[in-house]
Each structure stands twice: as C-alpha cells, then as structure tokens.
Amino acid sequence: MANEKKIPYKIYLEENEMPKAWYNVRADMKNKPAPMLNPGTHQPMTAEELGGVFCAELVQQELDNDTAFFEIPQEIRDFYKMYRPSPLVRAYCLEEKLQTPAKIYYKFEGNNTSGSHKLNSAIAQAYYAKNQGLKGVTTETGAGQWGTALSMACSYLGLDCKVYMVKVSYEQKPFRREVMRTYGASVVPSPSDTTQIGRKILAEHPGTTGSLGCAISEAVEVATSTPGYRYVLGSVLNQVLLHQSVIGLEVKAAMDKYGIKPDMIIGCAGGGSNLGGLIAPFMGEKLRGEADYDIVAVEPASCPSLTRGVYAYDFCDTGMVCPLAKMYTLGCDFIPAPNHAGGLRYHGMSPVLSQLYDDGLMRAVSVPQTSVFEAAEEFARVEGILPAPESSHAIRVALDEAKRCRETGEEKTILFGLTGTGYFDLVAYQKYHDGLMDDYIPTDEELALYRAKLPKID
C-alpha cells in the first residue's frame, strides 16, 4: 500500500459544508413522474386527499415537481449533525486486494443505530408531523431498518410511533424489535387483528407470514382512522427521495472538494430510497446536460421489479387502500420466495426512478443472492465493515466492475452506496456459510400471473 495518498481514506465534510437544502431531481426532469391516482376515481390525488394520510408539509413536497431545492429546517440539520456527515470512503484496502487500477469509493450510511440511511428521511417526516401538532405516526417495516430509524426519530421528538412489522421479520429478528422497544415504539406483527385489512388478510391466508404491502395497508388504516396520527413511509415516495438527496449532496460536495468525478454510480434498489438519494445531484447534472454518468440500479434476481417488471399504474400496498402509483412493478401481490434473505423485497419501484429508468437515464441489473453474500464477505474482510445484504447488491456489481478493470487496465472511478450494516442479518449470513442459501428466481409464468392482476388504467 502506498504511504502517501492525496485523497484520505475517509472524507468527512465539515459541518459548514453539509447540505443546507435537499435537492428535488424532479425539477430537472423533462418527463415528470406520473401523478399518484385515487384508487376509486383514477383521478390524480389532490393535496387534500393526500392530507388525510400524510402531513401537510410532506404532501407539498410529494406533489412539487418544480422546486429544485427545499431548505432543510434547522432542527433537522442539527439532528443530522448528530450522526452525519457520513464518510465517503476511498476503498484503498479493497483496491489493493483486488489489484485493480479502478478507484473505488463508497458512501457509508451505516454509522448510526438504525444501521442505515433510513434515518435521513425518518427525522424529516417525524419533524413535520411534530410541527403539525400530531400525536404520532404509523408505519410498516420489513427487515426493520426503517422501523428502527423512525423509532429513533420519534423518541427524539417525543412522538408516538406504531410500527407494523412483517410477521416473518418480527419472529426472525427479535433484536430489531428490541432496538425499537429501546426507543419506545410499539411494534405489531403484520398481518394482525388490530386492523380490518389485517383481519381480512388473516381470514383469507391463515398461515401468511406477511409482506411489506400488507403491513403498509395496516399502517395506513390505523393512521387514517386515528385522530392525531398520520402515516409515514420509508421509501418509494417522492418526498423520501427528496430527503435522501442529502446522501448524494454530501458525496458531491466531498468529491468536488477533491476534484473527483465518478464514472459509474451504483446503488441497490428496493423501493429506491437510497439509490434515488445517492444519485440525485449527479442525475441532475445529467438531466441538465452538464455531465454524464453511468448509473446502475442493482436489484435481487428474486425481486426484479426494474429488470423484469412492467411500467404501469399499480397499488403501493397489498390491501389496495393506498393510491395508485405509476412505477416499474411486479404486481402488488408479488412476494419474493421465502428463501430470499437479501432485503429489497418491495414489489414496485419509486416513480421517480421508474421514469428515469424508462427514459434510459439509468440502467438496472439483477444479481442472485449467493453471489451477493459472496461479495459481502469479500468486502467485509478487507474493508472492516460487515455490510447489510441490501448494500451488498451494490458491492457485487462494484466488485465485478473493479475486477473487469483489472483485466482492461481502465482507471475507472466507481462510486457505490453502502447503505448499512448487517449486524441484524446474521441469520442470513449463517445460511450462506452453511450452504443453505439458494438462488430461486421467479419464472416468466409466475411473473405473468401477478402481472395479469394489475389494475387497468386508461
């Protein structure tokens, strides 16, 4: 390893260099993401309709396709200072190990107790709820990062927090549950008998272990039927991508400081919150014709919404109580195979990213899960961070590209998003070590079945 490096192993911005406004990539998109539709009338959702579900300020952010920058309120900026800036890491150790001429950077969002980037939007959403004088918020969580993040934010602001946790995760991840409990949240396994939709799903599918779409339905029902409560969501929505732009803005500021320009930007994609945030300012430059970047979404082969889904209006939830969103989707009943351990299990994709993908402004690849865990372990051993399975999708593609550069001699600059840590995913790691993990990939026939059930919108 060379002893003198111009660029440090980790770039931390100074506090005064941290973003003061979120960037709304929609402002620079020629083709705006399609509006959400009322599931009954199929007309665009109005601010008033959305206001029954979301806080007023967040509704404005959700609907605003024109304002490029939203000032980050001082209270949120102060909270960000508690756990941000996150480091932009130059992966010298990995480069050395791979003997690649590629320059690898990753933005590491896992240095907070939620274990991921989710806290960036959780605090924003909780802040606006508090500001509106609400008593509490409801949400769903799958693996638990989002639920943990929201619990932390609510605990900090003194808001009540009700989390509907996908039952299989609730049972298999008692520790995530316990962290949320430490932060004073109430956690309910979903589907539950606490909601109408939960009771209906339980009656129809008695043995079900739940799904994100189903937990969303329950959380929305409780929010809309309890005075003083609203619903908050950790991904997919425009507002979430807006808040998560803090990731990309920090990266951009750090890179500009050192004169670094990435050739390739890689992020894992489930609902799109991390990828959307990471790429935001770079995509903005691309949209404005100021620069070009190869932007890659990486999704699990077992839940391939971008690579094998269709771009159509679909429900955001299984219970079909939420608005319809136009997005790349596998169908709102789609649930990845039970052996899928890598997260990123949402049936759809952020409407913003869906539009950008449809416009050819980014590409997508899907990767099988054993290769994801292989990459995770390779990374952990040289970079000292045990990555979340979700993040490891991006690692897989970054490693492959860096190895390709070793063959071609290209000095490509690769940036990827390391969204979080895998400390609560060790059951999955164990499966991988014990050879109990396989790579089930849905067949075309299966996908066609779900696709046939998509709502028909003129």
Query: Closest approach of Cβ 423 to a second copy, in Å?
Result: 4
What is the distance between the alpha carbons of residues 224 and 295, in angstroms, rounded to a whole number? Answer: 38
Among 14, 66, 290, 407, binds a second copy (CB under 8 A): 14
- Which segment (151-159, 192-200, 214-222, 227-235) binds a second copy by CB under 8 A? 151-159
Residues paired with 413 in a beta bridge: 103
Among 40, 41, 74, 99, binds a second copy (CB under 8 A): 74
Are the C-beta atoms of residues 243 and 24 closer than 8 Å to each other?
A: no
Among 119, 187, 301, 322, binds a second copy (CB under 8 A): 119
CB atoms within 10 A of CB 426: 12
Element (H, E) at 24: none
Is residue 371 within the footprint of a second copy (CB under 8 A)? no
Identify the CA nearest to 195 among candidates 318, 344, 33. Answer: 318
- Residue numbers 210-269 binding a second copy by CB under 8 A: none
- Which segment (112-120, 209-217, 266-274, 445-453) binds a second copy by CB under 8 A? 112-120
Is the dihedral angle over the CA atoms 98, 99, 102, 108 positive or is it negative? positive
Q: What is each CA distance from 446 to 75, 104, 240, 332, 341, in whole angstroms?
A: 48, 38, 31, 13, 20
Among 50, 76, 179, 335, binds a second copy (CB under 8 A): 179
Is residue 81 within the footprint of a second copy (CB under 8 A)? yes
Q: What is the DSSP string of 50-88?
A: HHTTS-HHHHHHHH-SS--EEEPPHHHHHHHHHH-SPPE
Query: Closest approach of Cβ 74 to a second copy, in Å?
Result: 6
Is residue 426 within the footprint of a second copy (CB under 8 A)? yes
Is residue 339 within the footprint of a second copy (CB under 8 A)? no
What is the distance between the alpha carbons of residues 384 and 373, in angstroms, rounded to a whole number? Answer: 15
Query: Closest approach of Cβ 155 to a second copy, in Å?
Result: 5
Are the C-beta atoms of residues 153 and 123 closer than 8 Å to each other?
A: yes
Is residue 171 within the footprint of a second copy (CB under 8 A)? no
Among 71, 78, 171, 193, binds a second copy (CB under 8 A): 78
Is residue 398 within the footprint of a second copy (CB under 8 A)? no
Q: Using DSSP, state whether 385 is helix, strand or coil.
A: coil
Residue written as token pair 């959307």: 276
Query: Closest approach of Cβ 422 to a second copy, in Å?
Result: 9
Closest CB to a second copy among 334 and 432? Answer: 432
What is the distance between the alpha carbons of residues 185 and 178, in angstroms, rounded to a whole number? Answer: 10
Is residue 384 within the footprint of a second copy (CB under 8 A)? yes
Q: What is the DSSP string of 235-249?
A: SSSHHHHHHHHHHHH
Query: Closest approach of Cβ 424 to a second copy, in Å?
Result: 7
Query: Closest approach of Cβ 6 to a second copy, in Å?
Result: 11
**Where on the chain is the footprint of a second copy (CB under 8 A)?**
1, 3, 8-10, 12, 14-15, 74-75, 78, 81-83, 92-93, 111-113, 115, 119, 152, 155-156, 174-175, 178-179, 181-184, 377, 380-386, 421, 423-424, 426, 429-430, 433
